[in-house]
Structure 1
């Protein structure tokens, strides 16, 4: 039971560090949480927007979006199911709020996101091995 609790805390730390480092626009940190051969699929609604097969391509494509003027990623619940001692699956819910500039004006975008992850423990630590990132909906409310 103690090992399972430690593993759950380590997996929560992975998704929280992803959010925290994304807020800092530090995509290079993704090398610390995603396996080098990570499989990433990003969906916008039902449409597949990205299909990436390694962390270096992931970093490059995320950097290509450009840095937001401000961002706020907030994780909600995370549910983890262990397959065995070194493999698990998880779902994490998140809200990503971004302020970007469009035509000289600030634009606020809110994204509701679900991450469907597969985790793998290698050499004593957990990694995100696969991720399906689903932008469930996005909203562009007025920015005060």
Structure 2
């Protein structure tokens, strides 16, 4: 493995992690800047398409709307496999997504087992996501206690 390939692998891992960190912070404006201008984001739950977006503006609006109802958003990225070919690359990343919010007056934690299939392009010496297809393979919901008000 050459030094350039090692540098690219590190940069791509950092890109995928940064996308997750910005989602956790709900900084969707900064998050979508990590996609190409006409990038594509698709999400499937099983065989059902639940989201198909093209372009930063569409992604920013949809991501902000999706995250607004959650008090906590947490991504934990795991295994990643990359194939790099010059200024293009593809990758698969496993991710555990945790969302905590209020549903029907109950505090609900939703854990999602996701696998992201990414296509990357290097533009102006920086890697960006050109296409991300997320597969939500499983989901588990559980009720959490409501936060304590601190009053006696």
Q: TM-score, normalised by structure 2?
A: 0.90
1:96-107 superposed matches below 5 A: 96-107=97-108
> C-alpha root-mean-square deviation of aligned residues, in Å?
1.1
Query: Which residue matches 1:20?
Result: 21
**Aligned equivalents of 1:30 and 1:69: distance in 2?**
18
- Specify the SS of the correspondent of 2:9: helix
**Aligned equivalents of 1:68 and 1:78: distance in 2?**
27
Query: Which residue matches 1:64?
Result: 65
Q: TM-score, normalised by structure 1?
A: 0.94
**Aligned equivalents of 2:144 and 2:104: distance in 1?**
14
On the 8 A contact 2:33/2:56 being kept in 1, the answer is no
Deviation at 1:112, TM superposition (A): 0.5
Any stretches of 5+ residues in structure 1 without a counterpart? none
Any stretches of 5+ residues in structure 2 without a counterpart? 146-152
Aligned residues: 143
Query: Which residue matches 2:88?
Result: 87
Divergent runs of 4+, >6 A: none
- Specify the SS of the correspondent of 1:25: coil
Q: Which structure has the greater CA radius of gyration?
A: 2
Query: Which residue matches 2:131?
Result: 130
**Aligned equivalents of 1:109 and 1:96: distance in 2?**
8
Deviation at 1:31, TM superposition (A): 3.1
On the 8 A contact 2:69/2:102 being kept in 1, the answer is no
